[in-house]
Amino acid sequence: MFSIIQAAGWPIWPLVACSVLALALVIERFFSLKTEKIAPPKLLAEAMTVSRTGVPAPDVVSQLEQNSVLGQVLASGFRALNVNPRISEEDLRSMLEGAGRQAAHKLERYLAALATIASAAPLLGLLGTVIGMIEIFGSQAGAGSAGGSVGGNPAQLAQGISIALYNTAFGLMVAIPALIFWRYFRAQVDGYLLTMELASEQFVRHLNTLRK
């Protein structure tokens, strides 16, 4: 592998850095976007059960907030009622919407960076290809001016071709998985956001029954 990197020349190093960064982002998102950390299936029902007769105690609300991202959204509704038991439905809905926007920002973290890598990697590979072609033409021009040979310098010619082809291939090898994982995480986040939106709507109706 190291011999391939050496043969590809210095233009491949930005692609190596992109591949390492993309791998780190993919691993981080896999661990951060687990269902139990975002929207546990039974959390809404449990939150509605413990608040059937009134707003739960602050320690219960804090425990709910630390449970997951959805728990943070639901806890914001409880906190709004604790601050103002006569809060209007519109203000209550606004509180949950604000918490939902913060949750969406947290879920979408690093996705833009992964999309940027997927877009930039082919361009970096193309840059390496262009540099390789420049070396090829440079070897031809140098050989022609020195002795009038049309064959050029074989070693420099081979090096230029290696730089061109290796960088093109490596750029695609980085971009294609990055694009696939970006689309996968994007669809996963959209699904979570829909789940949280529906849960928040149901939770607002439940909180309206607790308002004094």
Q: Give the pLDDT confidence of 21-42 residue by residue, as tens digits.
A: 999 999 999 999 999 999 999 9
Q: Over the range 14-30, which residues count as b (16 or more CB within 10 Å of their CB) and which as e?
A: bbeebbebbeebbeebe
* pLDDT value at 179 more than 90: yes
Rounded Cα distance between 169 and 177, Å, is 13
pLDDT confidence of residue 25? 96
pTM for this prediction:
0.82
The mean pLDDT value for 61-81 works out to: 92
For residue 141, what pLDDT is reported?
A: 60
Provide the sign of the torsion angle of the four alpha carbons 59, 62, 66, 67, taken in this order.
positive
| Digit-coded pLDDT (tens) for 34-68 | 999 999 999 999 999 998 888 888 899 999 999 99
What digits encode the pLDDT tens for the residues 136-171? 776 666 555 554 444 556 666 766 777 778 888 889
